[in-house]
Each structure stands twice: as structure tokens, then as C-alpha cells.
Amino acid sequence: MTQQALRPDAVFMRIVDAIQARNPLQRKMIASVLARPDPVFWQRVASFSEHFEQLLAKHGIAVEKVADCYNKLCKDMLLEQIKFRKTGRYSSSSFAEVAQRVYHSEKEMEAMVYGLAMSQFLWRNHYGLFDYFIDTIGQLEAAGKVKTYLEIGPGHGLHLAESLRTFSQAHFDVVDISAISLGLSQRVVAEFAPGHDVDFHLKDVREFVGGSAYDLVVINEVIEHLEDPLSMMRTIAGLIGDTGHVFLTTCANAPSVDHIWLYDSVEAMRAHIAEAGLEIIHEKVLPVEDHIPREEWTERKVEINYGALCRRAGAKHV
Ligand SMILES: C[S@@+](CC[C@H](N)C(=O)[O-])C[C@H]1O[C@@H](n2cnc3c(N)ncnc32)[C@H](O)[C@@H]1O
């Protein structure tokens, strides 16, 4: 399957057309995505497109609105990148302030969630981590390891939907601090993976006690949103059982309106994982500027997307 196999009127293509019409700066990048020869990528896009179309229709959301959300995400990120190049810092430093401005604002949260849903397929590294996640949960399912699952900060809910389809017999808990985000995740679950029981908890995960020692805790793109990511990682390490796993993604040198903690290197991310009492089983390191030699990444502040599957340090199982 290639892009040609996707209906020209598929909602994904209509959103992509609307993005380009409103933001010509995106055209070159989108052309390279549309030329992708990877059939698995196009199968995933087709499945996303089909379910997303139903979701948008059911909730009366226009294609142009999703395009605007995506373009806002790109514009906000570009502005943050310019500031970051000048100052070497992220512009937000307080969780309370970001929570007020972003997590509890319908407009900001919708833009973030719908924008990120599109970036999951349009941005090379976001798709790279999504692909890594789908592969990893497939391996855990094949090993029969996941009966209890916790996801923290599902946002657009696409990872959660993949997990629901993969671990069809597991018990699911989901925690998010934002009612808006949680509501959108619920819509996505109802449309993308109906018929599953999920316990949604509107809570700061630091106050979440949890129902059990989880077999898998998933926390994607949340750690860098915190003032104290190490304490969050310690909390997560305490939420898995002796044979449990943590799947996490985070990033270095990646300014965004809601990013607070600045990791400046892969080593800094790994150091927090180790300090939290976790051990990396495998990881994915994706630099945005992939032509720069690795030894120059830190000095040149190369943006890096990072994912890892971890277990408790010293655990004997694979
Ligand atoms: C950028 S989104 C990540 C969405 C999705 N996981 C992804 O990979 O794109 C961050 C999410 O984390 C949630 N969040 C941030 N801090 C949190 C906290 N302390 N406890 C629970 N959820 C939190 C936000 O409300 C938001 O839904």
C-alpha cells in the first residue's frame, strides 16, 4: 500500500490539503511524507484516517479546524525554537502556570491534541517513536506479559487505542491532569477501540495511588512537562510490579510552550532513568538534525526524540 491506495477524499488527505493551503511552509515536508514508500506507514494512516473521520463527523469538527490546530502547533514551536536558540532555555518554568495556560484551556488543549494527532504521522521522529511503541507493545503481548496497564497523559489517545487493541484482555487505568485531554482520549477510545473497559482518572499522577503493581506503565511526552521529572520517574518505578515494564518517551533540546524540564543530551535522560531505579532494556534515539555527528549533539543543542523500554534495576526477567 502506498499513498495512492488511500482514497483521495480520505480525511487525512483533506486535512493535509487544508494544512498546505493555509501554511505553504509545510508543503516541502508534506511532499516528502506523501512520497513515503513504506506500506505499514500507509496502512496505519488509512486506519487512523477512517476512525478519525468518524470521530470528526460525530463531534461536528471541521477538517479546517484540525488543520488550524496543526498549524498553530507548528507556529508555536517555531517561536519557541527561536527563543531557545537565543536564550538556551525553555520559556516556561512553572508547572502551575503551564497547567493554567494550557492544560485547563479548551482552545490550547484542543490545538495541542489534534495538532499532535497529525504530527504523529507527519513528523518523521513522532512517527518513528510511534512505530517503536507499536513494535514494543507487540513484543510484550507476544510474551503474554501485560494484564494490567496504566497510561499517564494520553493526550490524543492514539497510543492508548493501539494498546487497547493489542492487550485485549488487560485492565486499563488512564490518568491525566487535564479534563479536556481526558475527554478527548475518551472520544478516541470510543471511536478507535470500542468495547473496552477503561478506568479514566482525572488526577495529577503524583497523587495517583493506583490499583495494582502494573505490568506496563506508559508515559509518552509528559516527563519534559514537569518541574521535577526525576521524582515522577521514581513514582513510575514504584507503580510497576517486579516483572513490570515502563515505556517512556521524552526529548532533549526540544522547546515547546508547555515544556519545562530541559534535558540537554541523551546522557541526561539516561541518568534520570538510572537514578529513578530503572534499567533500560532497549531505547530509540532520534535526532531531528540527523546529519550532525553524534559527538556534536550536545554542544550544538541538537533536538532529540527519545524512547525507552525499562524495568526495575536488577530485575531478572527479560
Ligand atoms: C504533550 S501531551 C502528551 C500526549 C501523548 N501522550 C503523546 O504522546 O502525544 C502531555 C499530556 O500530559 C498530561 N499531563 C501533564 N502533566 C501531568 C501530570 N502531572 N499528571 C497527569 N497528566 C499530566 C497533559 O494534560 C497532557 O495530556
**CA 5 to ligand 1 center in whole angstroms:** 34
Report which DSSP code applies to 263: B
C-alpha cell at 117: 494527532
Residue 82: count of CB within 10 angstroms of its CB: 11
C-alpha cell at 15: 486535512
**Main-chain dihedrals φ then ψ at residue 127, nearest 5 degrees:** -65, -40
CA within 13 Å, CB half, 276: 28
Q: Which residue's alpha carbon is nearest to atom 13 within ligand 1?
A: 153
- The answer, yes or no, to whether any atom of ligand 1 lies below 6 A from the CB of 125, is no
- Residues 18-27: pLDDT tens digits? 999 999 999 9
The three-point CA angle 31-111-103 to 5° equals 140
Single pTM value for the model: 0.94
Whole-angstrom distance, CA of residue 152 vs CA of residue 177: 9
Q: What is the CA 197 to chain-centroid distance, rounded?
A: 22
**CA 220 to ligand 1 center in whole angstroms:** 8
**CA 154 to ligand 1 center in whole angstroms:** 6
* Positive or negative torsion for Cα 167, 47, 222, 123: positive
- Residues 191-222: pLDDT tens digits? 998 888 899 999 988 888 776 699 999 999 99
Q: Which residue's alpha carbon is nearest to atom 18 within ligand 1?
A: 204
In 255-315, alpha helices (H)? 266-275
Pick the CATH number of 124-312 from 3.40.50.150, 3.40.50.300, 2.40.128.90, 3.30.70.20: 3.40.50.150
- Residues 211-269: pLDDT tens digits? 669 999 999 999 999 999 999 999 999 999 889 999 999 999 999 999 999 999 999 99
Evaluate whether 233 touches 274 at the Cβ level (below 8 Å). no
The residues, ordered by sequence, that sit 6+ positions from 298 with a Cβ below 8 Å of its Cβ are 264, 265, 267
- The answer, yes or no, to whether any atom of ligand 1 lies below 6 A from the CB of 225, is yes
- The answer, yes or no, to whether any atom of ligand 1 lies below 6 A from the CB of 272, is no
Residue (of 264, 277, 285) closest to 231 by Cα position: 277
In the chain, what are the domain boundaries? 3-89, 124-312
